[in-house]
């Protein structure tokens, strides 16, 4: 900013500008160092502008946090859904298919049918995408390289389901966490799939547990 002319720095004090509070403060300090004399009313105006911008940034940050917050309640009258954390953990450990099924049921419950259908496409699509990439992508054949690639694709699918949950579900919806019975059943089915298709599902974290147990 020190390379900017005085006229360019003065633009930082124009009402409604989009500069950050730190940039406005820096412009004020640079102009003061250059000998620009600010009247008391100008100083008050600039201080208020900086304070207002900081408050706007804080409000924006809090709003972003609220979007990602999971509003679980014990209110018996609240709607029942599978928690976001449950869906994320299931997706990371057991794959996007069981995670997408849980999110699909949530979206159907709140009548977001288009998003529900898209969720299933994502869940099943990422499973087949993982198999396709692993069968075609070049790698050096070492276990670590293959494993990292599998985990990377798996994590991407889980994050995508998380984003879908944030975007498609009603904002700030308070709900009761549903029984963990279905997530447990889906997890057990995923383990059975591992037993039947060890090679295809070798990259899932739960499969590493099996490998470790098998080494004892």
Find residue 72's DSSP bridge partners: 175
Find residue 80's DSSP bridge partners: 176
Q: Angle CA(169)–CA(175)–CA(108) in degrees, nearest 5?
A: 45
| Calpha distance 6→30 (Å, rounded) | 9
Q: Note whether 155 and 179 are within 8 A (CB).
A: no
3-class secondary structure, 80: strand
The pLDDT value recorded for residue 214 is 47
The pLDDT value recorded for residue 147 is 54
The pLDDT value recorded for residue 139 is 53
Q: Note whether 158 and 171 are within 8 A (CB).
A: no
The pLDDT value recorded for residue 10 is 93
The pLDDT value recorded for residue 5 is 92
Question: Could you read off the pLDDT tens digit of each residue along the chain, which spans 216 residues?
Answer: 888 999 999 999 999 899 999 999 999 999 999 999 999 999 999 999 999 999 999 888 887 777 778 889 988 899 999 999 899 988 888 888 899 999 999 999 999 999 999 999 988 888 777 767 666 655 554 445 555 666 677 788 888 999 999 899 998 889 999 999 999 998 888 778 776 765 555 545 555 544 444 444
The pLDDT value recorded for residue 96 is 86
Structure tokens at 133: 């990439």
The pLDDT value recorded for residue 97 is 87
Task: Tell whether pTM > 0.85.
Answer: no
């Amino acid at each position: 900013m020190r390379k900017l002319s005085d006229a360019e720095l003065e633009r930082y004090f124009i009402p409604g500008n989009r500069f950050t509070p730190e940039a406005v403060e820096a412009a004020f300090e640079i102009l003061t160092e250059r000998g620009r004399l600010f009247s008391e009313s100008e100083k008050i105006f600039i201080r208020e502008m900086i304070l207002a911008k900081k408050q706007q940034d804080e409000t924006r940050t809090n709003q972003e946090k609220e979007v990602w917050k999971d509003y679980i309640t014990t209110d018996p009258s609240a709607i029942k859904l599978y928690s976001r954390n449950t869906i994320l953990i299931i997706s990371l450990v057991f794959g996007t298919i069981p995670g997408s099924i849980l999110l699909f049921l949530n979206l159907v419950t709140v009548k977001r049918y288009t998003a529900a259908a898209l969720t299933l496409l994502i869940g099943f699509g990422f499973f087949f995408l993982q198999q396709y990439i692993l069968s075609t992508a070049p790698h050096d054949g070492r276990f670590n390289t293959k494993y990292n690639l599998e985990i990377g694709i798996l994590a991407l699918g889980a994050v995508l389901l998380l984003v879908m949950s944030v975007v498609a579900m009603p904002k700030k919806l308070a709900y009761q966490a549903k029984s963990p019975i279905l997530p447990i059943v889906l997890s057990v089915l995923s383990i059975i799939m591992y037993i039947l298709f060890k090679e295809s599902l070798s990259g899932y974290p739960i499969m590493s547990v099996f490998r470790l147990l098998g080494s004892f």
